[in-house]
Amino acid sequence: MDKNTMGQHISRQFNVELEEIRNKVMAMGGLVEEQIENATMALVSGDVEQAEGVISRDYQVNALEVDIDEESIQILARRQPTAGDLRLIVAVIKTITDLERMGDQAEKVARMAVHLADMERPRNQYSELQHMGDLVRKMLHGALDAFARMDAEAAAKVAQEDLKVDSEYDAIMRQMITFMMEDPRNVKRTLDTMWSARALERIGDHARNICEYVIYLVKGKDVRHITLEQMTKEARD
């Protein structure tokens, strides 16, 4: 996709519509990023009020998805876009679906934070979840930045971070299983910790999905279901 000719249409209003929808995606992404950060902070600090704030704001993420989806469908019906413009609308529709699911996962982390706040806290103060939460939030930020700049190579680089997320998730799972075996009294807290880690791992998966949509948008190549090495090659070619 030619970045320099992006948005050059006979209809000036069409340019405005496309820019507006891109801006709304970025606004939705910013809200989801904030939700992830606040949910992680609430879990680590045991702040129930902050966790409940994340839960109560999930409707805003859902509302943005509906709004952007409806606007995208209207553009498809009215403008019947082709080539790069069509790929942009498709990428937007797919991206907001993943953002909404990220918001759901952030809400799950916040709900686990409420549960864990009433339990005895581990010595490490959930530092492993703090690190994992920071990592997936940065993945989302990088994916959104690549989307805004239409940078396929940057998107591929961000997608590589999913390997770190998966590795940390596996390490947390092994650690939690060990804790449960050593002391059955830790089962409830350990299960909630595992659910939190799983939610964060899923956020990383959704961030990788957005990176794939960026590559599709820029290069016109479907890079789903291929290895990260192949994805990087496709992003460069």
Closest CA to 134 of 200, 199, 53: 200
- Asked if the model's pLDDT at residue 3 lies above 90, the reply is no
pLDDT at position 4: 43
Confirm whether 7 is domain-assigned. no
Query: Does residue 223 belong to any structural domain of this protein?
Result: yes
Q: Is the pLDDT score of 224 beyond 60?
A: yes
> Which pLDDT belongs to residue 100?
98
pLDDT one-digit tens code per residue, 114-153: 999 988 887 777 899 999 999 999 999 999 999 999 999 9
Average confidence (pLDDT) over 145-174: 96
Phi-psi region of 46 (alpha: psi -120 to 50; beta: other; left: phi over 0): left
The predicted pLDDT at position 6 comes to 47
For residue 121, tell me if it sits in a domain. yes
Q: What are 176-216's pLDDT values in tens digits?
A: 999 888 888 888 889 999 999 999 999 999 999 999 999 99
**Whole-number pLDDT of residue 8:** 52
**What is the pLDDT of the chain when averaged over all its residues?**
92
Span 93-110, mean pLDDT?
98
Widest pairwise Cα distance in the chain: 69
Provide the number of structural domains found in the chain.
1
Which residues are CB-neighbours of 187 under 8 A, at least 6 positions away? 180
Residue 2: inside a domain, yes or no?
Answer: no
The Cα angle at residue 27 between residues 23 and 32, in degrees rounded to 5:
145
What confidence tier does 1 reach under pLDDT thresholds 50, 70, 90? Answer: very low
5 occurs within a structural domain = no
CATH of the domain at 62: 1.20.58.220
Rounded Cα gap, residues 29 and 175, in angstroms: 32
Distance CA 47, CA 44 (A): 8
What the block records as the tokens of 188 is 């409830």
Average pLDDT over every residue of 167-184: 91
Which domain, by its residues, includes 203? 12-236
Confidence of residue 47 (pLDDT cuts 50, 70, 90): very high
Q: What is the pLDDT of residues 7-25, one digit of tens each?
A: 455 567 888 889 999 999 9
157 has a pLDDT exceeding 90: yes
Distance CA 143, CA 1 (A): 18
Residue 228 lies in a domain: yes
| pLDDT at 9 (0 to 100) | 53
Residue 3 lies inside a defined structural domain of this protein: no
Residue 1 is assigned to a structural domain of this protein: no
CB atoms within 10 A of CB 170: 12
Q: What are phi and psi of 206, to 5 degrees?
A: -65, -35
Res 66 pLDDT > 90: yes
Contact between 235 and 211 under an 8 Å Cβ cutoff? The reply is no
